Amino acid sequence: MKNIKRILALALAMALIACSCLSLASCSDGKYTIGILQLVTHDALDAATEGFKQAVIDELGEENVTFIEQNANNDTNLCSTIATDLVAKDVDLIMANATNALQAAASATMDIPVLGTSVTEYGVALGIKDFDGLVGGNISGTSDLAPLDQQAQMIIDLFPDAEKIGILYCSAEANSKYQVEEITRFLIEKGVSAENIKEYAFTDSNDISAVTTTASAESDVIYVPTDNTVANNTAIIDSICRADKTPIIAGEAGICKGCGVATLSISYYDIGYATGLMAAKILKGESDISKMPVEYAATFTKQYNAEICAALGIEAPEGYTPLG
């Protein structure tokens, strides 16, 4: 009888240990599989993914990590398919690169840790009212938001004589719309008449040329937020606006490199790296993702595009560094 009790007690203890191992990284064998869901290929998102992977490798060791890397080619439906597949593969963590990727991953799982990056505003992306910086549950990450009030001031400082300010963005991207509303508010607060600010929204890459043509013809200067569809189509925008001599202020360096004259931007590699550090802490059991607030870039850089400035006859702005 004593032996039976001992066996039962041992079995119960082993069951409790096994259950706890389902949620504790400390029970892991130190090998991890991480799913990476990237919305689309362009310089900013590519840099964030590169930074993320490097941080994870630095913290966990290259031999201990397997990355399943998928790109949705700017297809929202494909984002959902990839997210579902990563959950089915039972990955240890998902890194969702860009807003649509984060939304897909958040819908696919409430259990696997999900870290976003290159996401401007998590409250907008996830429908959280009065967002205070902490998502909770299984989601956290890093934001690519640069100070929009300073970007508004940049437009005014660089183009003080501009009467018509156009704002070009993709209406399908929730965080782009958020930036448009904020930059408009800041411009009005700084004295620009609301009548002189006009939005030019396109639905996808199919109508970006037509909308850009109209925006360029009707604007003295154009502002473009951090927008993935724009980032993936800068050559089209540049060909139109450069021919019209219409300058563009961009929300991030990758877009500025493709079609802008100046930007106040962050390092996407750095926010990706910060996301990777967060991932390592979660996987090693050092941090609880539900208690990890969204992290923001620490530094912002004023940069200009020397080639496009020269083509438009614009002198390099004082205090700005050239894009690499």
pLDDT tens-digit map of 211-226: 999 999 999 999 999 9
Q: Both 197 and 313 in a single domain?
A: yes
Q: What is the mean pLDDT of residues 224-252?
A: 96
Q: Give 119's contacts (C-beta < 8 A, 6+ positions apart).
A: 96, 98, 99, 102, 125, 141, 142, 143, 144, 175
Q: What is the mean pLDDT of residues 254-266?
A: 96
Q: Give 250's contacts (C-beta < 8 A, 6+ positions apart).
A: 223, 224, 256, 259, 260, 262, 263, 265
> Residue 67's domain is classified under what CATH number?
3.40.50.2300
pTM (2 decimals)? Answer: 0.84
Q: Both 211 and 70 in a single domain?
A: no
Is 1 among the domain residues? no
Three-class DSSP category at 91:
coil
Can you give the residue range of the structural domain that contains 189?
Answer: 148-265+301-322
Three-class DSSP category at 20:
helix
Q: Specify the residue for token string 């992290």.
A: 295
pLDDT tens-digit map of 108-132: 999 999 999 999 999 999 999 999 9
Q: Both 117 and 65 in a single domain?
A: yes
User: In the beta sheet, which residues pair with residue 168?
Assistant: 200
pLDDT confidence of residue 317: 87
Q: Both 93 and 140 in a single domain?
A: yes
**Selection from 125, 79, 74, 80 nearest residue 99 by Cα:** 125
pLDDT tens-digit map of 293-323: 999 998 999 999 999 999 999 998 889 999 9
Q: Both 210 and 130 in a single domain?
A: no
Domain count, the chain: 2
Q: What is the mean pLDDT of residues 185-207?
A: 96
Instruction: Check pLDDT > 60 for residue 1.
Output: no
Express as a percent the part of the chain with pLDDT over 70. 91
Q: Specify the residue for token string 């976003």.
A: 116
pLDDT band, very low/low/confident/very high, at 28 (cuts 50, 70, 90): low
Give the DSSP letter of residue 136. B
Is 163 among the domain residues? yes
Is 14 among the domain residues? no
Is 6 among the domain residues? no
